[in-house]
A and B are shown apart, each in its own frame.
Chain A
Amino acid sequence: MIRVTLPPHLRKLAHVDGEVELGVEGQVTQRTVLDALEARYPMLQGTIRDHVTQKRRAFVRFFACGEDLSHELPDAPLPDAVAKGTEPFMIVGAIAGG
């Protein structure tokens, strides 16, 4: 199972506490993880990626294994530790606004 952490505002929208666990078929990438997340929690559609362009919203970041993966291609494989569920895929609200 893929472990995903959400920022507090999105946990509240999705009515979840703590981490979310998702089954992802095939290669584990940003796109397949977010597709699985939005399928389970459709109220999150549009909050992480733009509805139309599917691009990451500017103030949302993706971290995993101590790395900022925000600028990786959506179809690039995520680290093995994320794919194996030993490390979470972290969706983070950027520090912005002072």
Chain B
Amino acid sequence: MSGVRVLVGTRKGAFILTSDAKRERWDISEPHFAGWELYHLKGSTVDPNRLYASQSSSWFGQIIQRSDDGGKTWHQPGTPPGEPTTAPDGSPKGESNKFVYDTSPESGKPLTTHQWYDGTAHPWEFKRVWHLEPSLTDPDTVYAGVEDAALFRSTDGGQTWQEFAGLRGHGSGASWAPGAGGMCLHSIILDPSNPNRIFIAISSAGAFRTDDAGKTWQPINRGLHSLYIPNPTAEVGHCVHRIAMHRSRPGVLYMQKHWDVMRSDNAGESWQEISGNLPTDFGFAIDVHAHEPDTVYVVPIKSDSEHFPPDGKLRVYRSRIGGNEWEALTKGLPQSDCYVNVLRDAMAVDTLDKCGVYFGTTGGQVYASADAGDNWAPIVRDLPAVVSVEVQTLP
């Protein structure tokens, strides 16, 4: 019987929630990596038991964890469980938490500074992994979006990581600047129809695309309009919060920008605003229905200075026509005195019929709908602040 596994990253550990396909009763795991920040966990679509997790702390930095049994046990990829941690000569067997920016001249003279808050040039400094995106074809290949913004890839199951230096080096990198949350590469979308095409987004530089498997990149921000930068229509500098795509239509992208919900019908070459009748078009999360590529979900947040739902009402908004016309989904969600936030990586969908929709809040709740958003219920209520939610539909 099929089922669902929900991977929840929080400020103080990771939790794994499981249910059968009815999605009515949920088992909740003990905390994994208790006390650490789990910015993101995600499973391979090729091998659902292969999970990757980004474990970090302000004290001890970045750790990459991997599970090969669906989250029952974890290990750092360089040091498999039960095996010696060093080779016979005493050297480390793996370097799974080592993210080093590429500064080799042969890879395109990558930049060594970006713009700091005060306008000065600031060295690139690795801080943490925000997002892990497993390959669509190989469980040992996984991409990592990091702060300070860069894209890395591992092809050995997370043991070693190499940067796509052409992204930072594409030309505008020296002008990229951090947003309030840091200068993070938070969205990675692999095109299922074209293995050479990857979309990424950076706060606050904007969205970028490669068509040659990561060697070269181009900004794809035409049509974005951001009043908080000197030139509102600049090629880069936009604070993109999240981009999403439906597998069946890889040329159509949806974007939740700092303000504005946007859509592109030409793989990011140009964007149109689709905020329509939303009560506010500020927000972080955006996702697409698993079976209906024109059905889009957002969670409007009041403003960039008030990170909670308008009027204290937690409402998911759904458009069934690809934007502009939105309906509020409220059944089962708190409609008074609710002042949580829903962060950019904290919404996901399953692929069951009917499509399940899930999101986590900074108040520690994970809400789920087993009917595409018509009805909601909390599947767990009192976790630490939720940073990320991913869903695996199991055979």
In the bound complex, residues from chain A placing their C-beta under 8 Å from that of B99 are: 51
- Is B35 an interface position by the 8 A CB rule? yes
- Is B62 an interface position by the 8 A CB rule? yes
Binary interface encoding of chain A residues 41-63 relative to chain B, with 1 for a CB under 8 A from any of its CBs, else 0: 11101111011100001011000
Which bracket fits the contact residues of A? 20 to 34
Contact of A9 among B57, B85, B91, B92 (CB under 8 A): B57
- Chain B interface main SS type: loop
- Report whether A46 and B79 are in contact in the complex, using a CB–CB cutoff of 8 Å: no
In the bound complex, residues from chain B placing their C-beta under 8 Å from that of A45 are: 92, 95, 97-98
A74: shortest Cβ distance to chain B, in Å? 18
B117: shortest Cβ distance to chain A, in Å? 18
Binary interface encoding of chain A residues 2-15 relative to chain B, with 1 for a CB under 8 A from any of its CBs, else 0: 00000111100100
Contact of A42 among B57, B58, B60, B85 (CB under 8 A): B85
- Report whether A9 and B90 are in contact in the complex, using a CB–CB cutoff of 8 Å: no
- Report whether B100 and A48 are in contact in the complex, using a CB–CB cutoff of 8 Å: no
Binary interface encoding of chain B residues 25-69 relative to chain A, with 1 for a CB under 8 A from any of its CBs, else 0: 000000000011000000000000000000001111111000000
- Is B310 an interface position by the 8 A CB rule? no
Knowing A43-B76, A43-B78, the reply to whether A93 touches B98 (Cβ < 8 A) is no
Knowing A39-B92, A93-B59, the reply to whether A9 touches B35 (Cβ < 8 A) is yes
- Is B354 an interface position by the 8 A CB rule? no
Interface residues of A in 74-98 (CB under 8 A from B): 93-94, 96-97
In the bound complex, residues from chain A placing their C-beta under 8 Å from that of B76 are: 13, 43
- Is B86 an interface position by the 8 A CB rule? yes
A36: shortest Cβ distance to chain B, in Å? 10
Knowing A9-B36, A42-B79, A43-B79, the reply to whether A94 touches B95 (Cβ < 8 A) is no
In the bound complex, residues from chain A placing their C-beta under 8 Å from that of B96 are: 43
- Report whether A46 and B59 are in contact in the complex, using a CB–CB cutoff of 8 Å: no
CA of A41 to CA of B94, assembled, Å: 11
- Report whether A42 and B86 are in contact in the complex, using a CB–CB cutoff of 8 Å: yes
A55: shortest Cβ distance to chain B, in Å? 11
Which bracket fits the contact residues of B? 20 to 34
- Report whether A57 and B98 are in contact in the complex, using a CB–CB cutoff of 8 Å: no
- Chain A interface main SS type: loop
B90: shortest Cβ distance to chain A, in Å? 6
Knowing A9-B57, A9-B60, A57-B60, the reply to whether A46 touches B85 (Cβ < 8 A) is no
- Report whether A51 and B100 are in contact in the complex, using a CB–CB cutoff of 8 Å: yes
Interface residues of B in 279-309 (CB under 8 A from A): none
CA of A43 to CA of B99, assembled, Å: 14
- Report whether B59 and A94 are in contact in the complex, using a CB–CB cutoff of 8 Å: yes
- In the complex formed, the residue of A with least CB distance to B97 is A46
A70: shortest Cβ distance to chain B, in Å? 13
Contact of A46 among B90, B93, B98 (CB under 8 A): B98
CA of A50 to CA of B123, assembled, Å: 15
Contact of B62 among A8, A38, A39, A46 (CB under 8 A): A46
- Report whether B59 and A57 are in contact in the complex, using a CB–CB cutoff of 8 Å: yes
CA of A47 to CA of B76, assembled, Å: 13
A92: shortest Cβ distance to chain B, in Å? 10
Contacts A48-B60, A50-B61, A51-B126 supplied; 10 other A-B pairs, CB < 8 Å: A13-B60, A13-B76, A39-B86, A39-B92, A42-B93, A45-B92, A45-B95, A51-B98, A57-B59, A57-B60
Q: Enumerate chain B interface residues (CB-CB to A < 8 A).
A: 35-36, 57-63, 76, 78-79, 85-86, 90-100, 126
21 contacts between A and B (CB under 8 A): A7-B59, A8-B35, A9-B36, A9-B60, A13-B60, A38-B92, A40-B86, A41-B85, A42-B78, A42-B85, A42-B86, A43-B63, A43-B79, A43-B97, A45-B95, A45-B98, A51-B126, A57-B61, A60-B59, A93-B59, A96-B59
Per CB-CB distance, the 5 closest pairs between chain A and chain B, nearest first, are: A42-B92, A47-B60, A59-B59, A93-B59, A46-B97
